[in-house]
Every structure is written in structure tokens, then in C-alpha cells.
Amino acid sequence: MIRTVLTQMIYLFATRLFAWLALLCRSTAAKNAEILILRHEVAVLRRRISVPRP
């Protein structure tokens, strides 16, 4: 049980570390493009949410 938890923690730490390193290597243009895409996704999702009925 402890070995499983430890393995999961190491895996989570490693994936977060590699994601952080990949983010550091990206250009500013790539970061701006990702922000625009995420904003568009949020706008689309907000349009799909209907007003709840009372």
C-alpha cells in the first residue's frame, strides 16, 4: 500500500516537472496561441450552458 502511494507520488512529481520544463522551453507566441485557444473553449462552453429553470 505504501509502495503504491509512493509510486503514484513520484509519477505525479515527474509529470509535473516535465510539464513545467516543457512550458519553459515554449516561445511566447506558442503561449499566446494556447491562451487564445483556451479562451475560445471557455467562450464556447459558456454559450452551451443554459439558464437553470426555477
| Cell numbers at 35, concatenated | 491562451
Contacts of residue 31, Cβ cutoff 8 Å, sequence gap at least 6: 23
Digit-coded pLDDT (tens) for 3-52 = 899 999 999 999 999 999 988 888 999 999 999 999 999 999 988 887 77
Contacts of residue 12, Cβ cutoff 8 Å, sequence gap at least 6: none
pLDDT at 23: 84
pLDDT at 5: 92
